[in-house]
Amino acid sequence: MASKPILENNVRELRSRRSWSQAELANRAGLSRAGVSAIEMGRLVPSAAAALALAAALECRVEDIFCLPSTKPNVTDAWAWTPKRAPCRYWRAEVNGRNWLYPVEATPRGVVAHDGIFRDGGFAEIGRDDPSRTLVLATCDPAVGLLASEIEKTSGFRVVVIPRSSRAALTLLGQGYVHAAGVHLGTAEANRGNSASVRKLLGAGYALLRVAKWDEGLAVDPALGLSTVRSALKADLRWVGREEGSGARQCLDELMEEKGVNVRPPRRVAYDHRGIAEAVRCGWAEVGVALRLPVEEAGLDFLEVRQEAYDLCYPIAMEAEPRIKALIEAVRSTNYRRSLAGLPGYDAAEAGMVQGIS
């Protein structure tokens, strides 16, 4: 077998359609399981004999399995949104029967392998992930990597996370660009907060999958010596904010409406919860609203304001979709709930509960 991947292949897709494991396909084709795995990942190009053996086992033609690398995406592919620059890396995923290309961006999961590179008006395909086996989540949850790992481990689906605030995530869901959107626009006591936001932005026909209740509050520079939310609101401090439509912005707006506060509108806006903590940790601001987890990770003081309900919203019509089923099963799994409950500020007691929005 050659060492340079010069062919694209559909081995995994054809194998998955038959519900075969790599070992079963290897046995039927007379190959090693490691060899089948390397071929699927594009690390090895099969010999003519191996290609014919795979075609015989899968009951198809060799050209149905292997083809030369494409220079253009499938005709059904389209940008979910326009890249900010070129060249750019991209992910590909299928949502509601349509293949979308997503410009790669920083995510809470770190670097996630891309499927191709767009440059000079052309597409260089380098990935081997089946778009129909990629789950796309839009969320601001800083611990979403735990959920993604659980889904990938138990179902084999790849997870791509698009970091977005609650309202922005719901907008992407309504546009059909993602499978599920994270939302935390209501307190834990006001269970209708998230459902009311979804109903207002998207209407009926959606479901909310409870992931956790989490603590949101103030990330405060420890040097200030503040011990209460009220003392922080009365002090003349430099605040860092979040964009409109985020749960953190909603929380800050509500705090600013209280009497006797001395909060100047933030001059700087952070991209996410870790951005708030980083701004305070680096001295660019003295206080901001964020979740407990990134605040404690940054070694800052956390002053709790409220506990919020964090849900993942998805269309009810997609409940039978394998990727949504895998998402629900992962949230309900003992392993994930145990991992989530061990994080600062996360309460996983209600994880897995589903509420329909009619």
Task: Give CA–CA dist 33/227, Å, rounded.
Answer: 59
pLDDT of residue 260 exceeding 90: no
- CB-based contact 141:108 (threshold 8 Å): yes
Question: Per residue in 137-163, pLDDT tens?
Answer: 999 999 999 999 999 999 999 999 999
Range(s) within the chain of domains with CATH label 3.40.190.290: 135-358
- Written as one letter, the residue type at 137 is L
Task: Return mean pLDDT, the chain.
Answer: 90
Task: Give CA–CA dist 242/340, Å, rounded.
Answer: 24
Residues contacting 223, CB < 8 A, separation 6+: none
End-to-end CA distance of the chain: 56
- Integer angstrom CA distances of residue 324 from 328, 329, 338: 6, 9, 21
pLDDT of residue 73 exceeding 60: no
Q: And the tokens for 179?
A: 């499978």
Q: How does residue 191 score in pLDDT terms, banded at 50, 70 and 90?
A: low
Question: Per residue in 297-337, pLDDT tens?
Answer: 999 999 999 999 999 999 999 999 999 999 999 999 999 99
> Residue 120: its pLDDT value, please?
83
Q: Average of pLDDT values for 212-232?
A: 95
pLDDT of residue 188 exceeding 80: no
Q: How does residue 5 score in pLDDT terms, banded at 50, 70 and 90?
A: very low
Q: Give the CATH number of domain 135-358; options: 3.40.50.720, 2.60.40.1080, 3.10.129.10, 3.40.190.290.
A: 3.40.190.290
Q: How does residue 75 score in pLDDT terms, banded at 50, 70 and 90?
A: very low
For residue 79, what are the β-bridge partners? Answer: 101
> Residue 2: its pLDDT value, please?
38
Range(s) within the chain of domains with CATH label 1.10.260.40: 8-67
CATH number for the domain formed by residue range(s) 8-67: 1.10.260.40
pLDDT of residue 111 exceeding 90: no
